[in-house]
Structure 1
Amino acid sequence: MNKNSSNTKQLMCILGAGESGVGAALLAQRNGYEVFVSDSGKIAEKYIKELEDNKIEFEEGQHSEEKVLSASEVMKSPGIPEKNTLIKKIRAKNIPIISEIELAYRYKGNSKIVAITGTNGKSTTTSLIYHICTTAGLDCALVGNIGYSFAKQVAENPKALYVAEISSFQLDDIVTFRPDIAVLLNITEDHLDRYAYNIENYINSKFRIIENQTVNDYFIYCLDDELIMTHLKHITISSNPLPFSMKQEVNKGAYIKDNQMMIKAQEERISMNIYDFVALKGKHNQYNTMAAGIAASVLDIRKEKIREAVQTFESLEHRMEFVATIRGVEFINDSKGTNLNSVWFALESMTKPTILIMGGVDKGNDYTLIEDLIKEKVKAIVCLGLDNKKIHEAFSGKINTIVDTQSMKDAVTEAYKLAEKEDTVLLSPGCSSFDLFKNYMDRGDQFKVEVKNL
Structure 2
Amino acid sequence: MKKLTTSFIAEKIEGKYTGPDKEMNGIFNILKDAQKGDAVIRHWIDETGVKIAVEKGVSCIITQNPKGNAVKTAEELELPFIVTEKIELANAFAINWALEKFAKDSLRVVVTGTNGKSTTTHMIYHILKEAGYSTYTNTDSESEFNTLIDPMVAKQIAEFDAKIEAAVIEVSEVQGWLDDIMKDHAYIMTSSINPDVVVVTNVALDHIGLVNSIEETFNETSGAVKGLKENGSLILNFDDPLVLKMKDLTSNYRKILFFGDNADIKFDNTGVSYKDNILIKTEDLPFKSRHFIQNIMAAAGAAIALDIDFEIIKKAVSSYQALNRRFTIIHNNPRIIDDFAHNPDGILATIQNAALMGNGTLFVVSAIRGSRGVSINQANAEAVAKGLQNIPYKLIITSSTDVVDRLNIVTDNEKKVFIDALEKEEITYIFNEKLYDALKNVLKLSHNNDTILLIGAQGMDPASELLDEILQNP
Give the aligned partner of residue 448 of structure 2: 421
Contact kept, 8 Å, 1:357 with 1:428, in 2: the verdict is yes
1:73–1:97 Cα contact (<8 Å) kept: no
Preserved CA contact (<8 Å) 2:171 2:186: yes
Cα separation, partners in 2 of 1:127 and 1:38, compared to 1, 3 Å = closer
**1:7-37 Cα deviation digits (max 9, x unpaired):** 966459999xxxxxx97338xxx9x997344
The amino acid that maps onto 1:115 is: V
- Aligned residue among 191, 206, 224 for 2:221: 206
- Distance in 2, matches of 1:190 and 1:13, equals 29
Corresponding residue number in structure 2 for 1:150:
153
Q: Is the alpha carbon distance of 1:300 and 1:312 closer, same or farther for their aligned partners in structure 2, counting shifts above 3 Å? A: same
Which residue of 2 is the match for residue 441 of structure 1?
461
Match of 2:82 in 1: 71
Answering whether residue 350 of structure 2 is matched by residue 323 of structure 1, we say no
Give me the TM-score of the superposition, normalised by structure 2. Answer: 0.73
* Aligned mates of 1:340, 1:269 — CA distance in 2: 34
Q: Match of 2:109?
A: 114
In structure 2, the partner of 1:83 is: none
Q: Do structure 1's residue 381 and structure 2's residue 361 form an aligned pair?
A: no
Q: 1:274: how far off?
A: 2.8
User: Matches of residues 223-238 of structure 1 in structure 2 within 5 Å?
Assistant: 223-232=238-247, 235-238=249-252
Q: For 1:222, give the aligned amino acid.
A: N
Alignment of 1:53-452 (within 5 A): 55=58, 63=67, 64=70, 71=82, 76=87, 98=92, 100-107=94-101, 108-143=103-138, 146=143, 149-157=152-160, 158-168=163-173, 169=175, 170-171=185-186, 173-174=188-189, 175-195=191-211, 197-214=212-229, 216-232=231-247, 235-239=249-253, 240-245=255-260, 247-248=261-262, 250=263, 253-264=264-275, 269-278=277-286, 280-325=287-332, 328-334=333-339, 336-350=340-354, 351-352=357-358, 353-360=361-368, 361=370, 363=373, 364-365=375-376, 366=379, 367-377=381-391, 379-385=393-399, 387=412, 388-396=415-423, 401-429=428-456, 432-433=457-458, 441-442=461-462, 445-450=465-470
**Cα offset, 1:137, TM superposition:** 1.6
Bigger mean CA offset, 143-152 vs 411-420: 143-152
Q: In 1, Cα distance between the equivalents of 2:308 and 2:271?
A: 20
The 8 Å contact of residues 322 and 333 in structure 1, kept in 2 or not, is answered as yes
In 1, distance between residues paired with 2:424 and 2:435? Answer: 25
**Offset of residue 400 of structure 1:** 6.2
The aligned runs of 1:20-59 (5 Å cut-off) are 24-25=28-29, 35-38=39-42, 40=44, 55=58
The residue type equivalent to 2:305 in the other structure is V
Q: Which amino acid aligns with 2:172?
A: S
What residue ranges of structure 1 are gaps of 5+ in the alignment? 16-21, 78-94
After TM superposition, give the deviation of residue 187 of structure 1 in Å: 0.9
TM-aligned CA deviation for residue 299 of structure 1:
2.3
The structural deviation recorded for 1:322 is: 1.5
Please give the alpha-carbon distance, in whole angstroms, between the structure 1 residues aligned to 2:435 and 2:265: 41
Partner secondary structure for residue 2 of structure 1? coil
Deviation at 1:450, TM superposition (A): 3.8
CA distance in 2, matches of 1:285, 1:155: 32
Given the superposition, is the C-alpha separation of residues 272 and 59 from structure 1 closer, same or farther in structure 2, using an over 3 Å criterion? closer
215 and 119 in structure 1: CA distance in 2 versus 1, 3 angstrom threshold: same
Q: Quote the RMSD (CA, aligned, Å).
A: 4.0
1:62 Cα deviation after fit? 5.9
What amino acid does structure 2 have at the position aligned with 1:304? Answer: E
What's the secondary structure of 2:203's corresponding residue? coil
Seen in structure 2, the aligned counterparts of structure 1 residues 293 and 38 have a Cα distance that, compared at 3 Å, is closer
Aligned residues: 403
**What's the offset of the Cα at 1:161?**
0.6
Unpaired runs of at least 5, structure 2: 16-25, 146-151, 176-184, 400-409
Query: 1:348 offset after TM fit, Å?
Result: 2.2
Tell me the TM-score normalized by structure 1: 0.75
Cα displacement (A) at 1:192: 2.8
2:61 touches 2:82 (CA, 8 Å); kept in 1? no
CA-CA distance at 1:294 after TM superposition: 1.4
Cα deviation for residue 323 of structure 1 reads 1.4
Counterpart-to-counterpart distance in 2, 1:7 and 1:417 = 61
Distance 1:283 1:41, change over 3 A: farther
Contact 1:13/1:71 (CA < 8 Å) preserved in 2? no
1:338 and 1:49 mapped to 2: Cα distance? Answer: 37
